Amino acid sequence: MRITHDNMADQLRNGNPEALSALIEAFSGSVLALCTRILGGVGTPEDIEECVSDVFAAAWNKSEYYDETRGSLRTWLLILAKYQALEIRRKLKRRKNVVVTVGDGALSSIQDGANPVSVFAKQDDPVATEVLSREQQRAVFEAVKSMDPRLRDVFVRRYFLYESIEDIASDLDISRSAVDNRLSRSRRWLRDQLQENAKGGTAFDETR
Amino acid sequence: MKHDEDFSQMLEMLDEDFQMEMLEQLNPKMSDQSSDSAIIRRIEIKTFTKLGLREPAVKRLHANKRRFRWKIATIFTASVLICAGVIAAVPGPVSAALQKWIEFIPGIGTVQQSDGQSNVAVLNRPVRADSPNGFVTVMGVMMTSTQIDVRVNGPGAVMPNNVSFKTENGQTIHLDAGGVATGSQWSGNYIAYGKFGAVPTQETGTIILGSGWNTQIPVQLKLAKSVADMSKLGPTDVHQGVSITAIAQREAQKVQLTLVPQYHGPYHIWDLAPNVVSSDLGIHIQDASGKTYKVNQVLGEGPNSQFTFSPTKGVQDYTVTIPRVDATYQGSARVTLPIPKTGSIAIDKTVNLGGFPIHFIKAERVSDNGSSAGIRYYVDMHASLTDAKELHGFQTGTSYSAELNKQTGVFEWIMIDAKPNQRNMTLHLTEPQVYISGPWKFHIRIQ
């Protein structure tokens, strides 16, 4: 049977190995790029290829959980890749006895340079910097979503997709300092929005 | 950068549905990586193997997977052949053969060790051509006086079996076919051995695909040039029988630094800047004022040997230091170890792995959930920061996790899952991983 983008997900669910082969052929570039960015400097090229292979194996094993109405196959694979690569990065760092921490403690106020997540933490609850509630996640998501598109594109590429500043600058045909400037403005904007939200502001109501 | 970590970590905390929405709704542009077919094929094979699946439409067309057996010369009398851009043009099996003796150095090209007698002509860049069965791409051609190796790939499941190379003087040489095809792509490796005469300085050959393909692809081959030895390309330092040459090239605002190791021994150096106890690379660069520079690794298929850093304007001289390199030795050993029913028991068992002793000291049952038990084996590998060569890790033949010593980066214990009622465990130890200490120091000048 000929595998196309239209029947790939169905054939994957049906357990057709040709669909897996086609999936790898179609999306290995995207998955490899993301895994390389996340594992760069920590893992070897072999670790990265292993990670990409794990992603496609996970896609095969979890194909029944893929829901077309929530996103494309590529998006789903990229999320699987992100989780897989982050997990491997944690293991590699742990193997080297590197302590992986989230933020630098519970802060009650947010200042420039402070961990943005700390805006959600209570002073006596350091664990709060490691987990975000659904409401807090929604606040973060909505804050990013409502950014100026030019800032948001750079912000998401840098912090969500781990692209290098050089690559972003080159792709957008702007200078590195312009990228830095947009990142700085996006961080400041996001901090302000989150702080506003934490104070009980109305910046992120569901209808926005 | 702290900002990067903080904001990335914040976004990593989002649940999967928010992450999906982030990509779907915000639709950021994203740079993909153009993977060469060899990488995709490796990923495909690994994935299918993990899942225990038979690859669909995979046709191993030939058992004959001969490769060039390049005659390696004595390293310290080696001469060096240079030809710009060869490795980039010859990925896959051809480059695998080439890469054993060849290093690609940004700004210089490809450097090959040889005894100075053998000549090699190579294709500088891939050549694409139309064919009745779709396009084909000649990824690489390598020619010596006795061997010709051609790599061609294309879409589809059927690869050409009847392939020959026609030289400039009209000689047609039939090539033996080998390679792999998946349902969507094939990659052919075509080889001939014989006496083809002296390799010309320039060769305009033709790749001929016959038997229904009816395709002729002209290719321009160029002879590699030679220089006297590797040390002419940059400063060289030798410790523990490992010679490393540092080759620096300015590229725009950055400096590309390539480290080329040369050595003889029962080991393979796979990391020239291992990070022992932190995420920082194990390579240090500073200028005469003592200012240190952040070094970035350039990820590639070969060993961790290419780096970049941003120099200070007006500063030409830098010192590069590599404290140690990471090597995998040959060697294997079997050891059977007891599993305590509860708590821990002392073990006093030493095995020799590739010439390095591993002393198993204690076994401890650290977890047991009824379906599997976590068994921790404490080891003493007699490592010391002052040792010239120290064993720091190994493979066990099964999945395991390990704790490393914070100062030395050496295994302190390994943990392996066992069945709850299991009384002992046999490990097949392989691939002793060894730090070889320097330091190798280089004074480089940036033009």
Whether the Cβ atoms of residue B136 and residue B153 lie closer than 8 Å to each other: yes
Predicted local distance difference test score (pLDDT) of residue B290: 94
pLDDT confidence of residue B263: 76
| Distance separating alpha carbons of residues A2 and A7, to the nearest angstrom | 9
Predicted confidence at residue B319, as pLDDT, reads 96
CA nearest to B373, candidates B418, B334, B430: B418
How far, in Å, CA of B57 to CA of B36, rounded? 20
Closest Cβ–Cβ partner in B13, B270, B279 for A132: B13
User: For the ranges A16-20, A51-55, A61-65, B400-404, which has the lowest average pLDDT?
Assistant: B400-404
Q: Which residue has the higher pLDDT, A198 or A185?
A: A185
Q: Is B25 on the interface with A (CB under 8 A)?
A: yes
Report the alpha-carbon distance of residue B360 to residue B358 in Å, rounded: 6
pLDDT attached to residue B228: 45
**Closest Cα partner for B366 from B404, B334, B427, B414?**
B414
From CA A57, how far away is CA A19, in angstroms rounded?
A: 12
pLDDT score at B280: 63
pLDDT at A78 over 80: yes
CA distance B22 to A137: 11
Taking an 8 Å cut-off on Cβ atoms, the answer to whether A79 and B29 are in contact is no
Q: What is the ipTM of this complex?
A: 0.78
The answer to whether the CB atoms of B11 and A140 lie below 8 A apart is yes
Of B15, B33, B271, the CB nearest to A32: B33
Query: Quick check: B411 and B402 in contact, CB under 8 A?
Result: yes
Per-residue pLDDT of chain B (447 residues; tens, 9 = 90+): 455 667 888 888 888 788 888 888 776 666 666 566 677 878 888 888 777 665 543 322 222 222 222 222 222 222 333 332 322 222 333 333 333 344 445 555 545 555 454 467 777 667 888 887 778 888 778 787 777 888 888 877 778 888 999 988 888 899 888 766 655 667 787 888 777 777 777 778 899 998 878 899 999 887 655 544 556 678 888 888 888 889 888 877 889 888 888 777 788 888 888 876 555 678 899 999 999 998 887 654 345 677 889 999 999 999 999 999 988 888 888 999 999 999 999 999 999 988 889 999 999 999 888 888 889 999 998 866 567 888 988 888 776 777 877 777 788 898 888 888 999 999 999 888 999 998 999 999 987
Query: B 35-94 residues with CB below 8 A of A?
Result: 35, 39-40, 42-44, 46-48, 50-51, 53-57
Q: What is the model's pLDDT at position A173?
A: 83
Q: What is the pLDDT of residue B362?
A: 95
pLDDT value of position B58: 34
Chain centroid to Cα B96, Å, comes to: 9
Buried b (16+ CB within 10 A) or exposed e, B222-236: bbbebeebbbebbbb
Q: Give which of B295, B235, B258 is closest to B109, Cα–Cα.
A: B258
pLDDT, mean over chain A: 75
Q: How far apart are CA B345 and CA B397, in angstroms?
A: 23
CB contact under 8 A, B18 and A30: no
pLDDT at residue B184 in the model: 65
Alpha carbon distance A139, B426 (integer Å) = 52
DSSP characters over B62-91: -S--------PPPGGG-EEEEETTHHHH--
Token readout for A36 is 């390389």
Taking CB atoms and an 8 Å cutoff, what residues of chain B touch A81?
none
User: Length of chain B in residues, anyone?
Assistant: 447
Coil vs helix vs strand at A186: helix
Q: Within chain B, how many helices (H) and strands (E) appear?
A: 5, 31
Q: Region A32-51: what's the mean pLDDT?
A: 85
pLDDT for B317: 94
Q: What is the pLDDT of residue A122?
A: 40
DSSP state of A147: S
Who's near B78: CB < 8 A, 6+ residues apart? B113, B114, B115, B116, B229, B230, B262
The span from the CA of A169 to the CA of A174, in Å, is 5
Taking the CA atoms of residue A203, residue A140, residue A206 and residue A120 in that order, the dihedral angle to the nearest 10 degrees is -70
